[in-house]
Amino acid sequence: MMNTILAVIREGKIVPLEAVQLPEGTRALVTLLPEDEAHFWLTASESSLREIWGNVEDDIYAELLEE
C-alpha cells in the first residue's frame, strides 16, 4: 500500500511534517516540489485535463447547452 507523507528538508534530512510510525528500512520514493506548489500542480495536471475536456464529443454538449 502506498501512502503520501508531506515532509520538508532540514539540514539535508527528510523530516515528515506529521508523526509517522515506520519500520526501519521502509523504502520511500521522494518527489521534490517547487516552492510554488500551486504552479507545480497546475502544470502536472494540465495534460490530463486537456485530454479529458479537449475533445470533439464535449463540443456537442456545449452546443446543446447554448440552445
- The answer, yes or no, to whether residue 1 has pLDDT greater than 90, is no
Determine the average pLDDT of the residues in 32-39. 75
Work out the percent of the chain whose per-residue pLDDT is above 90.
Answer: 24
Q: How far apart are CA 10 and CA 29, in angstroms?
A: 18
pTM, to two decimals? 0.46
**Alpha-carbon 65 to chain mean position:** 32
Q: What is the mean pLDDT of residues 29-39?
A: 78
Average pLDDT, the chain: 81
* 14: Cα within 13 Å, side-chain hemisphere: 11
Cβ neighbours of residue 8 closer than 8 Å, sequence gap 6 or more: 14, 15, 17
In the predicted model, what is the mean pLDDT of residues 48-55? 73
